[in-house]
Chain A
């Protein structure tokens, strides 16, 4: 992982407060656990029917019946629980899920999220993403600031099919921490070495800049 990405993941890990029930999306969000102390009190949820996700295991130590929603061979910790898919999403929809960290193709300045379909190119289905994005108490996005072609992912409006409307509260990118407010995007922190003109250039919507010194991560 690039240095900027590692710092983004480390910064995003501070979203997780003691006592929370948290679902981490596949990919970058899963990596935030590496930045939590081993004894940090948090309950990680996996859509396929597990609360209390333990460390990922090497193949020779893995249990063939114990995976996370991304297919990684994980383990249990003292107090873990297994349950079926209906119970798993009852937890998500009923308000018991405090936080979800998700990836994104596009995020709009009103908090709309698109992360499941690129018509004509990528449409494998949303799995549990729609319910996570629509019902977690707090929805946070972790993403590179631009796509692989350098196009902004933070936009005035999403162009791709939506996952959920108006639900994203904050974005952690490799360039900045950005909040979604009633007035649109607002800069909270800048990644070290990123200038304001660079950030504006890479952002596809207006972004409010705080007065005074801007904290870095």
Chain B
């Protein structure tokens, strides 16, 4: 038996993203952001997108290109303090922004990837993040119902992959990537290195390829992946 080959081209992979899609985007700052997939999404021009990401990158980087080109309808993020363009777009009403506590965003995505409906948590229950949310009592304590987040598409960045879609990550470039790689109908991974089947030892695989639909090998790393000198 042999595991199926899901390697594809950048153009083909991103063409699978429909207009109006909800898209999970990996990354926390630069590490783990799938810059090449995002660039191709900007080039192909799908519009009316809902992006789910920890942050909004920085001005001129990553999802900022999609905000600038008017392709984004809504952002679900934990903060966007490093991107003045995103804050301006929010303040001018050009994009809708939903803020989520960082670990709760991670758990909502994990729940989506695990086929669950929601999680219960007291995080943010004393804050305005609780506004409009359903409250239930669990063991005598009030808990917010935080719905699972499952998306049409996930765009993730891996250090290493094989053609089946087994993925391994580098250092703090993990962040939301392993969670998002489980939580979408169409999971597209870009990888810095694509090894042949068997090249990625079973012990080091963090995302099993069974969750992944398409794998794109990066032929070069653009400047956006590099060190940011602030």
User: Which B80-127 residues have a C-beta within 8 angstroms of A?
Assistant: 80-82, 87, 97, 99, 101-107, 109-110, 121-124, 126-127
User: Which B32-53 residues have a C-beta within 8 angstroms of A?
Assistant: 32
Instruction: Contact check, B107 vs A86: say whether CB atoms are below 8 A apart.
Output: yes
The CA of A164 and the CA of B28, in the complex, are separated in Å by 24
User: Which B14-38 residues have a C-beta within 8 angstroms of A?
Assistant: 28-32
B153 within 8 A of A: no
Instruction: Contact check, A125 vs B78: say whether CB atoms are below 8 A apart.
Output: yes
Instruction: Contact check, B174 vs A83: say whether CB atoms are below 8 A apart.
Output: yes
The contact of A89 among B55, B107, B177, by CB within 8 Å, is B107
Instruction: Contact check, B78 vs A128: say whether CB atoms are below 8 A apart.
Output: yes
The CA of A126 and the CA of B229, in the complex, are separated in Å by 24
Interface-lining segment among B2-10, B165-173, B212-220: B165-173
In the complex, residue of chain A having the shortest beta-carbon distance to the beta carbon of B107: A86
B164 within 8 A of A: no
Instruction: Contact check, A125 vs B99: say whether CB atoms are below 8 A apart.
Output: yes
In the complex, residue of chain B having the shortest beta-carbon distance to the beta carbon of A80: B171
Bitwise interface map of B from 53 to 89 toward A, beta carbon under 8 Å scored 1, else 0: 0110000000000000000000001111110000100
The CA of A134 and the CA of B130, in the complex, are separated in Å by 14
**Which residues from chain B contact A124 at a C-beta distance below 8 Å?**
79-81, 87
Instruction: Contact check, B31 vs A161: say whether CB atoms are below 8 A apart.
Output: no
Chain B residues bordering chain A, tally (CB within 8 A): 51
The CA of A74 and the CA of B212, in the complex, are separated in Å by 31
Q: How far is the CB of A44 from chain B (nearest CB, A)?
A: 13
Instruction: Contact check, A89 vs B102: say whether CB atoms are below 8 A apart.
Output: yes
Q: Could you say which of B55, B102, B176, B230 has the most chain A C-beta atoms within 10 Å of its C-beta? A: B102
Interface-lining segment among A65-73, A171-179, A180-188, A193-201: A65-73
**Which residues from chain A contact B55 at a C-beta distance below 8 Å?**
127
Q: How far is the CB of B76 from chain A (nearest CB, A)?
A: 10
Q: How far is the CB of A22 from chain B (nearest CB, A)?
A: 17
Instruction: Contact check, A85 vs B172: say whether CB atoms are below 8 A apart.
Output: no
A147 within 8 A of B: no
User: Which A68-127 residues have a C-beta within 8 angstroms of B?
Assistant: 68-69, 71, 73, 82-86, 88-90, 92-93, 117, 124-127
B226 within 8 A of A: yes
Task: Check A127/B175 contact, CB under 8 A, given A85-B54, A85-B106, A89-B107.
Answer: no
Task: Check A66/B80 contact, CB under 8 A, given A48-B29, A130-B101.
Answer: no
Task: Check A88/B101 contact, CB under 8 A, given A48-B175, A66-B172, A126-B78.
Answer: no
Task: Check A92/B79 contact, CB under 8 A, given A64-B31, A66-B31, A85-B54.
Answer: no
The CA of A48 and the CA of B102, in the complex, are separated in Å by 10
Instruction: Contact check, A71 vs B82: say whether CB atoms are below 8 A apart.
Output: yes
Instruction: Contact check, B80 vs A92: say whether CB atoms are below 8 A apart.
Output: no
Instruction: Contact check, B30 vs A64: say whether CB atoms are below 8 A apart.
Output: yes
In the complex, residue of chain A having the shortest beta-carbon distance to the beta carbon of B122: A134
Instruction: Contact check, A85 vs B179: say whether CB atoms are below 8 A apart.
Output: yes
A209 within 8 A of B: no
The contact of A48 among B122, B159, B172, by CB within 8 Å, is B172
The CA of A128 and the CA of B124, in the complex, are separated in Å by 11
Instruction: Contact check, B171 vs A63: say whether CB atoms are below 8 A apart.
Output: yes
Instruction: Contact check, A131 vs B101: say whether CB atoms are below 8 A apart.
Output: yes
9 A-B pairs in the complex with CB atoms less than 8 angstroms apart: A64-B31, A71-B228, A82-B169, A85-B102, A86-B109, A89-B107, A125-B79, A126-B99, A131-B102
Besides A65-B170, A71-B230, A93-B103, 13 new A-B residue pairs in contact (Cβ under 8 A), listed by A number: A49-B175, A64-B227, A67-B29, A67-B30, A71-B29, A84-B177, A86-B107, A124-B79, A125-B77, A125-B79, A126-B78, A131-B101, A134-B124
